[in-house]
């Protein structure tokens, strides 16, 4: 697997060992990123069910300001952390160890410009995430990959594209007015607003504003 385009185009990505994680195919990821297009530059992105981080890292390569990765599987976390380190992307990434649905449900509406998710097929998590987003839209847009026979592809309220056995469904927050990308220099806008002498929020801490710091990377 590789980064397809942008700053790190062509760079390899490690994938988790074993059968517990199903990485997004390159051709699907390329179609996904092309469709997202102008929404990516300058965006704060949430990568749920992050796995190796391929989706979020592709967004970073194409100009996203920051990506928060949410994953709980140990093998996936090892690959994700290695990929971030090998790309030198530590200052633009956060890794949250935990359940993606629980984290998403704790966020304020509009906490992120974009959210991407590739939950396990046939787990029901794609449908649960879509319903959660409809009740509490934690991003301007949600992009979720799922099987093309998954009921969410027929439940309305979104746009679905199919690629063989794979489908991508996009949902907009009710007040989302479209992308307004503003490229940001990370050196001018530090990602960690925790000041000297202050402790970052603990994992699982409630986020009380769209700009609150997420939990820092901690081992399970």
Are 203 and 96 in contact, with CB atoms under 8 Å apart? Answer: yes
Confidence of residue 194 (pLDDT cuts 50, 70, 90): very low
User: What is the tens place of the pLDDT at every residue in 9-41?
Assistant: 999 999 987 555 556 667 777 887 888 888 899
**CA–CA separation, 114 vs 173, rounded Å?**
10
pTM for this entry: 0.78
The whole-angstrom separation of Cα 21 and Cα 73 is: 9
% of the chain beyond a pLDDT of 90: 52
pLDDT category at 193 given cuts 50, 70, 90 is very low
Q: Which CATH architecture has domain 26-172?
A: 3-Layer(aba) Sandwich (3.40)
Nearest to 76 by CA among 53, 45, 93: 53
């Amino acid at each position: 697997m590789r980064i397809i385009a942008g700053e790190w185009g062509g760079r390899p990505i490690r994938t988790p060992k074993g059968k517990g994680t199903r990485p997004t195919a390159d051709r699907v990821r390329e179609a996904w990123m092309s469709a997202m297009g102008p929404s990516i530059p300058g965006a704060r992105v949430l990568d749920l069910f992050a796995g190796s981080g391929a989706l979020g890292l592709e967004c970073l390569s194409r100009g996203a300001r920051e990506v928060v990765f949410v994953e709980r599987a140990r093998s996936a976390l090892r690959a994700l952390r290695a990929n971030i380190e090998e790309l030198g992307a530590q200052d633009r990434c956060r890794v949250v160890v935990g359940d993606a649905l629980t984290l998403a449900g704790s966020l304020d509406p509009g906490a992120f410009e974009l959210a991407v998710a590739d939950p396990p097929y046939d787990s029901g998590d794609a449908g649960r995430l879509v319903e959660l987003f409809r009740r509490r839209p934690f991003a301007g847009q949600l992009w979720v990959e799922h099987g093309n026979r998954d009921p969410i592809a027929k439940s309305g309220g979104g746009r679905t594209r199919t690629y063989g056995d794979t489908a991508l469904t996009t949902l907009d927050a009710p007040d989302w007015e479209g992308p307004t990308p503003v490229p940001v220099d990370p050196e001018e806008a530090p990602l960690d607003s925790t000041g000297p002498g202050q402790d970052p929020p603990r994992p699982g801490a409630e986020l009380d504003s769209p700009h609150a710091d997420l939990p820092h990377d901690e081992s399970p």
